[in-house]
Amino acid sequence: MSRLVRIPASESTSTGIIGLDEQLLGGLERDERPQSDGYLERIAKYIPGEVLAFFIVINAILNQVVQTSGKGALMAGIPVMVVAQVAFFICLALVPLFVWYVREKGDAWVINAVVSTAAFPFWAYALGATAFSEHWDGNLAAITLATFTVVSGLISPRSSRPLRRERERPVAVPQRTDRPHLDLVGPGPA
């Protein structure tokens, strides 16, 4: 199972008879990619969990400073609220970079990066990000996160289309020999 949402397999021209496709098509149309992800799998994979874990640690440190020294506190001469906003935007920028880094063949990593990046502010707000402390409301956080989560599962990548040169490639047809009785058994002696 991939960590990212998978691109659905292209529509197959399979006859449904095991072994017949390989004999007729010479194995050209085999699609060995796993099936696409369902609604619940997409919801789970769109959550930027690793970046959120990093953000939670940074946010906990910033919350500690705000609780002990107030919102006007300084960190290395910089106001804590500015540090919190910078940390938020750095983590927001890390989401697509992380998705790009963990991608595998067959992943819809661009869509995953876009949706995960859009999800990050909702999750950060719901987790009580220090950057949003002046505007934080627990009820609003629950409503916005639930709404975004339900809608994000509806975003599904399109199935991949074969490249133009692959679509125009002629299908291999088995060659007939002069001895039809040998076609059933395989090629004759060389």
pLDDT bracket for residue 165 (50, 70, 90): low
Is the pLDDT score of 14 beyond 60?
Answer: no
- By three-state DSSP, how is residue 107 classified? strand
pTM: 0.69
Tell me which residue of 5, 4, 9, 2 sits closest to 159, measured CA to CA: 9
Within 34-183, residue ranges assigned H as helices are 39-46, 49-69, 80-102, 109-126, 138-152, 164-167, 180-183
Pick from 64-68, 110-114, 130-134, 179-183: least confident? 179-183
According to the model, what pLDDT value does residue 37 have? 79
| CA triple 131-136-137, angle to 5 deg | 165
Is the pLDDT score of 83 beyond 70?
Answer: yes
Is the pLDDT score of 151 beyond 80?
Answer: yes
Mean pLDDT for the chain overall? 80
Is the pLDDT score of 164 beyond 90?
Answer: no
Is the pLDDT score of 13 beyond 70?
Answer: no
Q: What is the pLDDT of residues 123-147, one digit of tens each?
A: 999 999 999 988 999 999 999 999 9
